[in-house]
Amino acid sequence: MEHRQILAKNVRRRRKALRFSQEELAHRAGIDRTWVSTIETAKAGATIDVVSKLAAALGVTPSDLLEKDRE
């Protein structure tokens, strides 16, 4: 699995666990909602700055968002 797909899965999973809409996450992270959608569908990669903003908004570390499941 590519890093972009891992990031997409982890952002989406955490966002849903917190019951945030994409719009709410975008607002908390200070980015555009369409960017959240683009990241969650793995259509584009994110800079480390954006990963850091998303992690802070989701209450996790940037490395948590890039960690592959151990299932």
Per domain, the residue ranges of the chain are: 3-62
pLDDT in tens, 48-57: 999 999 999 9
pLDDT-derived band at 71, boundaries 50, 70, 90: very low
pLDDT-derived band at 1, boundaries 50, 70, 90: low
Q: What number is the average pLDDT over the span 54-64?
A: 97
As a CATH number, domain 3-62 is: 1.10.260.40
- Quick one: three-class SS letters along the chain? CCHHHHHHHHHHHHHHHCCCCHHHHHHHHCCCHHHHHHHHCCCCCCCHHHHHHHHHHHCCCHHHHCCCCCC
